[in-house]
Amino acid sequence: MHSLTFLGTSAGVPTRTRNVSALALQTQNSKAWTLFDCGEGTQHQILKSHLSAYHLSRIFITHLHGDHVYGLFGLLASKGMQRSPAPLEIYGPRGLKEMVRTVMRLSQLHLPFELHITEIGPGDRLQLEGFTLDVIPLSHSVTSYGFILAFDDTPGHLDTEKAKAAGIPEGPLYGRLKRGETVTLPDGRRFEGKDFLTPPTPGKRLALGGDNDEPMRFAPFAPFDLMVHEATYTQEDFDRLPRKFKHTTARQLGLAAQKMGLSKLILTHISPRYDTDGRILELLREVERVFDGEVEIAYDFMKIKF
């Protein structure tokens, strides 16, 4: 199974219980993993998790605000100290390449592995190992992106009972059937592997949002099996702010998810004002009043499998 691990779920600044934004994706049967955003202190969060920076192969940055990117430079330096030989890919908005290269030059950071930085834009599609990723432009005070992850279908399993009933002897032939190959028995009978496989399991579709005050930007790509999106404030608190920041409220997100027909939401990027007993539930209740699906509030080191 694939898994998501929340390494940082706070908005803007860390708290005693939440670090700033970082989310890890690990695909099944692979040690390599992908990181979405890398706020300050992310490498410390990795040390406290089941993950290893040594096997980190790819990083996506949603936007260049510090709580989403300031941890990148320390993580690169530490990964270099581990003498990790595999190339590292980093993707993000325009300006990311200049930011990383400038810090590396001024701090004389020399890495033992190849570093590939790609600046992405709206409409870009990447075909990666096990899934396709689409880049979605969001609405924020700086260029910010969300991502649609569409995972490959999982092949069906070999129906061994059906194979036995057909008189196919157990052993290497079963492996060939599982790979969908044609098998010929000594008596001349031929069997197609696809006829002995259960139907494939459709791959999941995930929506991962960067900072964004218009969650309906994801609507053209809906539905999703899961949406992970910021819910920085309650609507009441947001309305009282003397200065409005371009973030989504819990109510906005719930209404958008209901319109998109989603079944599950995970709220993240939580304002530190809710990092007290009881207040965090205000966000949950606000979403539940307008959204019929399942909703959870992410916390640091929360892990979900799919």
Cβ proximity of 100 and 117 under 8 Å: yes
Mean pLDDT for the stretch of residues 217-231: 97
Sorted by where each begins, the domain ranges of the chain are 3-154+201-305, 160-196
Whether 67 is catalytic: yes
What is the number of other CB atoms lying within 10 angstroms of the CB of residue 113?
15
- Rg of the chain over Cα atoms, rounded to whole angstroms, equals 23
Mean pLDDT for the stretch of residues 257-270: 98
What's the per-residue H, E or C state across the chain? CCEEEEEECECCCCCCCCCECEEEEECCCCCCEEEECCCCCHHHHHHCCCCCHHHEEEEECCCCCHHHHCCHHHHHHHHHHCCCCCCEEEEECCCHHHHHHHHHHHHCCCCCCCEEEEECCCCCEEEECCEEEEEEECCCCCCCEEEEEEECCECCCECHHHHHHCCCCCCHHHHHHHCCCEEECCCCCEEEHHHHECCCECCCEEEECCCCCCHHHHHHHCCCCEEEEECCECHHHHHHCCCCCCCCEHHHHHHHHHHHCCCEEEEECECHHHCCCCCHHHHHHHHHCCCCCEEEECCCCCEEEC
Q: Is the per-residue pLDDT at 269 higher than 90?
A: yes
Using pLDDT thresholds of 50, 70 and 90, give the confidence band for residue 277. Answer: low
Q: Is the per-residue pLDDT at 272 higher than 80?
A: yes
Of the given ranges (50-54, 91-95, 277-281), which has the lowest mean pLDDT? 277-281
| pLDDT tens digits along 83-110 | 989 999 999 999 999 999 999 999 999 9
How far apart, in whole angstroms, are the C-alpha atoms of residue 250 and residue 54? 36
Q: Is the per-residue pLDDT at 51 higher than 70?
A: yes
Using pLDDT thresholds of 50, 70 and 90, give the confidence band for residue 275. Answer: confident
Mean pLDDT for the stretch of residues 207-211: 96
Average pLDDT for the chain: 96
Predicted local confidence at residue 276, as pLDDT: 75
Q: Do strands 226-230 and 264-268 pair parallel, antiparallel, or not at all (unpaired)?
A: parallel
Mean pLDDT for the stretch of residues 33-60: 98
Mean pLDDT for the stretch of residues 55-77: 98
Of the given ranges (65-74, 122-131, 140-149, 274-283), which has the lowest mean pLDDT? 274-283
Topology (CATH level 3) of domain 3-154+201-305:
Metallo-beta-lactamase; Chain A (3.60.15)
Out of 37, 67, 211, 237, pick the active-site residue: 67
Predicted local confidence at residue 34, as pLDDT: 98
Predicted local confidence at residue 154, as pLDDT: 87
